[in-house]
Amino acid sequence: MDSVACKDMKKLLDGEISPFSYLKIANDYLASPETINVGREYIIRALDKINLFESNSKTFKILVRKSGLYPYLDKYFSDGQGDETKFVLELYDSGLNGFIFHSMQAKVFNSIVSGENVILGAPTSMGKSAVVDALINSKMYSCVVIVVPTIALIDETRKRIARRFEHEYQIIYHGSQVRTRKRAVYILTQERVNERDDLDSVDLFVIDEFYKLAFSNEDRSRVVALNIALSRLMSVSKQFFMIGPNIDLVRGMECFGRDYRFIPTDFRTVATNNFKYNISPNDTGEKIRVLLDIIKEYEGQTIIYCKSQSEISKVFGGIEEFLNEDFDFDFRKWLICNYGSDWVFSKALKKGVGIHHGSLPRALQQKVIELFNNKKIRFLICTSTLIEGVNTAAENVVIYDNRKATVSIDSFTQKNISGRAGRMSQHLIGNVFSLEGDTKNETPSNVVELGVTQQEGDESLGLIASIQSEHLTAQGKEELSRFVQRAGLPLGIYQTNSRYLVTDIDEGYEIIKRYSIEELRLFVNFGKFDSVRIDLFVRFMKKVEFRSLQRMSLHFDDNNDFKNRFSWYLFSNSHSEYLKDRLKYIYGYYSSEKSRSEETDRELKIVRNIFRYNVPSALILYEELLNHRLTEYGVEDKVDLGHILHVFENSHLVSVFSALEESGVPIETLEKLESERFKNSTLDAVTRYLRRFYQDLEILDDTDRVFIKTALL
């Protein structure tokens, strides 16, 4: 349904009302706190058609000020600024190279610098990152911790913060970095917050997307990790700023005993046209037909949200023949060389379509966002990985599915996806096309209830065991006391492996308890895993990582698919060698392009999720449980799986190169650079070296240099 502002703009364009009448209606809405957001939308839509208001320029400028959209005064009324306007612009100057706050940004910023803790619930287009940057720029905080939900957001935030502050602050974002400067900004996921041992005095911490503190259909282990990180930061920080979607209430903060100001707002800097089609989720033919109509009629940068990686391939297949573009980037040639010509990512790029999902190598994720934001490609088909805060400049968003994998998205997620349409100072008006209409999985109430409050029941034991003792409720203390009395393992094992359910850890230990002393000793003072050790570990992992392996059909006890892949990767000379061997098999065994593409996607998902994340987590737990069992036998020798852990955690690279891969330098490029000279170098030193000499290194080709320049400069 069109908004009232949209309807009146249509009347203006059709000559049914005059520009002055339109502004008068806007003024009436702006006059009341209950309707000011409606009035602001009138102003945004008028700015998009500013040529219609030339004869009412003075009145229009007054209403822009009244709406609080001060940045647009500078952008759209630059000529003939009066003293009063200049005063307003100076008053709302953020200090960030002339960036002007709008009224809500200024309100939040002033609350924080005056000493208040703030929880901000606001729409995507509100411009929350500018407030964070202005806080750092204020020099009031020597140690700032920014917690973001994904590694992709670590990199995006790192680049933004480094551009402005790297000469004044040390930017810490990887576990290999050691703090060496008085002023530091940490940019970390919740897991990395929990791994660091140097966060003992923090001036300000920021949690982005705080709604992920509530249990939902998200990965439960990540929710637990975020609540543990929140508890830890609350105990060591002087001040906090939590950012999330527009909500009505946050429940659970009372357990921290900290005063705070909750600022809920629907302040928007862009307007949205919403189109809803109510197509049946399973009517693929109709959804593709409507999608084609949309992309033919509406020009501009377009994001298409899909429920899954496999759905992306179907959507691209449905529109492929109607796309005329024929791009021939050097990047695409590099893709074909490294990942094959039949892969849907390579084929889509040729048609001017980018693909983005969680299993892609990070360098490819970041490359397609760069191409999209620079308008070198027009379409971006994605899953939720792109929606979680990564900045894109899109005019149109098509919500193809109202699901995330097999689960219906809630209203938070749908609003978050919709919020990608339009961008302050780039696209004043965004278009959102919901092919299935509104999600049926509406949030019962617009409330976020922190997971830290749920301190009863077996599923909460990992959380209870790991949060700060001062944040335990009476019920939580009782649960913890009972758990410690009956637990078969030291509390520390549950704490350091909190991503696992307590039952999974206990069941994993039951497997190890069945080992003979000879089998246990196999893991003491050995060089590499042999077939026997691999078999023992694989059986353990199929228990503690059953759900992760099941998603990839690697969980079956009666086949060796996972064991073989684990062995092949471990004994490969490099990550690329393993991948090339797998692609050679795929292209030799499968005859159809579709099968080759699907198997390539599956292989990348295994490498990215299973090898890089699940295997290292299981190895850490396995080592701790093996050592505990040896202690029970009275054996002083210890198991050290560090070498095996390093191979999987760092994709066969030295750890600082693994960090560079997160920043967008491909593993294929890093393998060319790897040598003994970098073995003991710090991340900051290697980064400085590459920035200075990447153009002169003969081992690199032009595509390698472009990747390094984009990632590090």
pTM of the model: 0.93
Give dist(CA 65, CA 85) in Å, integer.
9
Cα angle: 182, vertex 183, 187; to 5 degrees:
125
Residue 59: predicted pLDDT = 93
Tell me which residues of the chain have a pLDDT lower than 50: 444
Structure tokens at 375: 């308008």
The string of pLDDT tens digits covering residues 236-245 is 999 999 998 8
pLDDT of 124: 82
**Contact yes or no for 152/365 (Cβ under 8 A):** yes
Q: How far apart, in whole angstroms, are the C-alpha atoms of residue 308 and residue 314?
A: 10
Q: What is the pLDDT of residue 558?
A: 85
Give the model's pLDDT for residue 418.
84
pLDDT value at residue 89: 84
Q: What is the pLDDT of residue 97?
A: 84
Please report, as a single letter, which amino acid is at residue 49: K
pLDDT value, residue 407: 84
d(CA 225, CA 467): 10
Per residue in 539-580, pLDDT (tens digit) is: 999 999 999 999 999 999 888 999 999 999 999 999 999 999
- The confidence score (pLDDT) of residue 84 equals 75
Kindly state the greatest CA–CA separation across the chain: 90
Cα–Cα distance measured from residue 338 to residue 303, given in angstroms and rounded to the nearest whole number: 26
DSSP string, 37-91: HHHHHHHHHHHHTGGGGGGGHHHHHHHHHHHT-HHHHHHH--TT--HHHHHHHHH
What are the DSSP calls for 312-357, one per residue?
A: HHHHHHHHGGG-------HHHHHHHHHH-TT-HHHHHHHTTEEEE-
Q: What are phi and psi of 697, to 5 degrees?
A: -80, 110
Sign of CA dihedral 499, 502, 506, 507: negative
The answer to whether 615 and 651 have CB atoms below 8 angstroms apart is: no
In the chain, DSSP finds a helix count (H) and a strand count (E) of: 34, 17
Return the number of other C-beta atoms located less than 10 Å from residue 614's C-beta: 21
Residue 78 pLDDT: 66
Contact, 400 vs 242, CB < 8 A? Answer: no
**pLDDT at residue 445, as a whole number:** 59
User: In this predicted model, what pLDDT tens digit does every residue of 426-481 receive, in sequence order?
Assistant: 789 999 999 998 877 555 458 889 999 888 887 888 899 999 999 999 999 999 99
